[in-house]
A and B are shown apart, each in its own frame.
Chain A
Amino acid sequence: MAEPAIVAESLTYRYGNLLAVDHISFTVERGEILGFLGPNGAGKSTTVKILTGQLRPLSGRAILLGIDVARCPKQVHSRIGVCFEQPNLYEELSGVDNLHLFARLFNIRDVDIAGLLHRVGLDGRGNDLVGHYSKGMKQRLMIARALVNRPDILFLDEPTEGLDPTSAEAIRRIIREEQERGATVFLTTHDMYEADRLCNRVAFINSGRIVALDTPHNLKQQYGKRMVRAEVVGPDGSLLTREIVLDQPETAHEIANLLQHERVVTLHSEEATLEDIFIQLTGRALV
């Protein structure tokens, strides 16, 4: 069995008096998409910076592809791609020039720039200055830049933050494609829908600690409450909401009662969202 792509052992980092990452440990298997879900300031980006060698942890180890990042960062850097939370492109250069530069930095001579631009939906805009790109276009170019070296591990820090639905969906498609190629994806987000749809496993992080880590399905099974939500017409004609928790002894009776005695307008079964579970576990919302 192949060793995990990422092994984090008791990582700790502090900004002054603030403990940003508090002894977190986890592994990510090869070819897996792991999502780090948490609100702003939870420690997601700091964890990414430690894993990618930008920060040296105060304690603990980060091992990527069997290589200790702190000891041999450059060996790791040749095999990972990083898409940052904030744009950091050369705005006075074109999209093509930005990609060419980073290809040269990775010593890649035969990179298919046109193919990369096509993948991220920037056909025909490659020769425009990056300074003239919209936010979504810059984000897509950063994804393209992260893919220049066909990385074994792709780190995406809030890749769809602030993007329009079309751009966001394009990025999600690319993430799935990369997984199909065999890459491991480490994704940070505070968008529960994105985490739910994309990730094989999700880690909830709050105040620098992982409070839960499992598949979205298991998290919902373990922590979520299934229920039926009905909208009924009230005595004064207004719409009222009724919730009936499933899997309880009295569930069937309550549903029958509802249908018999209330004027039901809509009836839906629901399961807990990841945000519901996050709030339940941490007492905080994701945003």
Chain B
Amino acid sequence: MHITAIWALMVKDARLYAANRLFALVTVLGLVAYIVIYFLLPATVDEMLHLGLVIPDTPSALSEMIDNDAVQVTRFTDVEALRKAVASGEVEVGFAFPADLYDQLRQGTQPTVELLLAPEVPPDFVSVYAAAARELSFTLIGQELPVVIKEEILGVDMTGASIAPRQRILPLFAVLVLMVECLGLASLIVAEIEQRTIRALLVTPLTVRDVFVAKTLFGSLFAFGQAILLLAITGGLVKAPLLNLTALSIGSVLMTGIAFLIATLGRDLMSVMGWGMLALLIMALPTFTVLIPGLAADWVRIIPTYYLVDTLHRSLNFSADWNDVSGNLLLLTAFALLSLALGMATLQRRWKLFLNN
């Protein structure tokens, strides 16, 4: 292996990358954008439930609820005021009991309780609020259920420690940073064939293996470096730095292999961008399991970046240690080595076809 030659190739690729205005700009502006967005997003989660009520009187159970730190109850004088409050977002949900609630009950009619919901309330929660309305109704008419509710949190109690939006989005940014560098590397490789420079390289003492080592090192280190920068600025290296760095370094190797595959398929910059966008969409899918819990199905685990995203998320937000994520790291490593091997094999074949013509 020619160390000097490999280093010379890496320096050359770095200069060509910087000379490509598109990728240089996207890299720098992207990094800045991710960091700005991170700090603009809320650092905390508002766990308070804002509840609006139109109710004839205040039973004791309601008084307990009003005293609860997790619920802020606002009483309104009439339904219209409550509707406006829900529509404006002042409260998330409103219960409107009719003013003549007790009269209707005495007369044997069925009073109507209006459940007013803000548009952003998840569909799953509607039935919960409806059940709460029924419970409150029983309480109002003095017919509370004779049961004692005992709460038990299985796992880490996230009360007061819910994952802030900026923390949820960090794995997505890490994947994006790696993918952009992946596209950059792929375009550099395709350019070697477009400009026929690969032919010039291979009539020197440089071997094909040397070229692959140089491309792998450049791609992985460049992507890794940017991911480290992102995490360092956003405080992501404070918790379990070695674990996070390990996950990112393996992720960088994974992306380098994907870059080789994209370079095999691409014929020019446009086709590299096309294939790269497709790869980006697929690789970014697992980040949505973090952003919107419960959104993605189990099949997302076949996407290699799932194991990177899950590791970072658990390490950064749930204080996971090496034991907790060892399975993830093993699978991520396997995927990384597979993508690298496959990428090298297909790209070498493409080079051979080019050189033989």
Chain A interface (Cβ < 8 Å from any Cβ of B)? 15, 52-55, 74, 77-78, 80, 82, 84, 86-93, 97, 101-102, 104-107, 145
User: Which residues of chain B in 326-357 are interfacial with respect to chain A, using CB atoms and an 8 Å cutoff?
Assistant: 355-357
Are B15 and A82 interface neighbours, CB within 8 A?
no
CA of A89 to CA of B199, assembled, Å: 10
Does residue B203 face the partner (Cβ distance < 8 Å to A)?
A: yes
Bits for B2-30, please: 1 = Cβ < 8 Å to A, else 0.
10110111001001100110000000000
For residue B200, which residue of chain A has the nearest CB?
A: A88
Given contact pairs A77-B203, A82-B203, A55 touches B4 in the complex (Cβ within 8 A): no
Are A92 and B19 interface neighbours, CB within 8 A?
yes
**How many of B's residues come within 8 Å of A, CB to CB?**
26
Does residue B282 face the partner (Cβ distance < 8 Å to A)?
A: no
Chain B residues in 8 Å Cβ range of A78: 204-205
Are A93 and B15 interface neighbours, CB within 8 A?
yes
Does residue B207 face the partner (Cβ distance < 8 Å to A)?
A: yes
Chain A residues in 8 Å Cβ range of B8: 101, 104-105
Given contact pairs A78-B205, A101-B12, A107 touches B4 in the complex (Cβ within 8 A): yes
Does residue B196 face the partner (Cβ distance < 8 Å to A)?
A: yes
Overall SS of chain A's interface: loop
Distance (whole angstroms) from the CB of B213 to the closest CB of chain A: 14
Does residue B197 face the partner (Cβ distance < 8 Å to A)?
A: yes
Bits for B192-204, please: 1 = Cβ < 8 Å to A, else 0.
0001110111111
CA of A55 to CA of B354, assembled, Å: 11
Chain A residues in 8 Å Cβ range of B2: 105, 107
CA of A206 to CA of B202, assembled, Å: 28
Distance (whole angstroms) from the CB of B357 to the closest CB of chain A: 7
Does residue B87 face the partner (Cβ distance < 8 Å to A)?
A: no
Are A104 and B196 interface neighbours, CB within 8 A?
no
Chain B residues in 8 Å Cβ range of A88: 195-197, 199-200
CA of A74 to CA of B5, assembled, Å: 13
Are B197 and A92 interface neighbours, CB within 8 A?
no
For residue A87, which residue of chain B has the nearest CB?
A: B196
CA of A97 to CA of B9, assembled, Å: 12
Are B12 and A90 interface neighbours, CB within 8 A?
yes
Chain B interface (Cβ < 8 Å from any Cβ of A)? 2, 4-5, 7-9, 12, 15-16, 19-20, 195-197, 199-207, 355-357
Could you name 15 residue pairs across A and B whose Cβ atoms are closer than 8 Å?
A: A55-B355, A74-B207, A77-B205, A78-B205, A82-B203, A84-B200, A88-B197, A90-B197, A92-B19, A93-B19, A101-B12, A105-B5, A105-B201, A106-B205, A107-B2
CA of A124 to CA of B205, assembled, Å: 30
CA of A102 to CA of B355, assembled, Å: 19
Are B5 and A86 interface neighbours, CB within 8 A?
no
Are B357 and A74 interface neighbours, CB within 8 A?
no
Q: Which of A15, A92, A106, A145 contacts B20 (CB 8 A)?
A: A92
Q: Which of A54, A92, A101 contacts B199 (CB 8 A)?
A: A54
Chain A residues in 8 Å Cβ range of B201: 105
Besides A87-B196, A88-B196, A107-B205, 19 other A-B contacts (C-beta < 8 A)? A15-B357, A54-B355, A77-B203, A77-B205, A82-B203, A86-B196, A89-B200, A90-B12, A90-B197, A92-B15, A92-B16, A93-B12, A97-B12, A104-B4, A104-B5, A104-B7, A104-B8, A105-B8, A107-B2
Are A74 and B199 interface neighbours, CB within 8 A?
no
| Interface hub of B15, B204, B207, B357 (most chain A Cβ within 10 A) | B204
CA of A78 to CA of B4, assembled, Å: 14
CA of A101 to CA of B20, assembled, Å: 18
For residue B15, which residue of chain A has the nearest CB?
A: A93
Q: Which of A15, A55, A77, A93 contacts B204 (CB 8 A)?
A: A77
Chain B residues in 8 Å Cβ range of A106: 204-205
